[in-house]
Amino acid sequence: MHKRLIPLVTCLSRESPAALKSALGMLGLMRPDTRLPIVPLDAAGRAEVAKAFAAITDEELIDGVGA
Q: Would the pTM of this model clear 0.85, i.e. be above it?
A: no
- CA Rg, the chain, in Å? 11
Phi, psi at residue 20, to the nearest 5°? Answer: -65, -45
DSSP 45-65: HHHHHHHHHHHHGGGTSS---
> Which residue type is seen at 29?
L
- CB within 8 A of 41, min separation 6: which ones? 15, 18, 19, 21, 22, 32, 49
The pLDDT value recorded for residue 31 is 85
Mean pLDDT score, 3-29? 88
Question: 17-66: per-residue pLDDT in tens?
Answer: 899 999 999 888 988 888 888 889 999 999 999 998 888 877 655 555 54
- Domain spans of the chain? 2-59
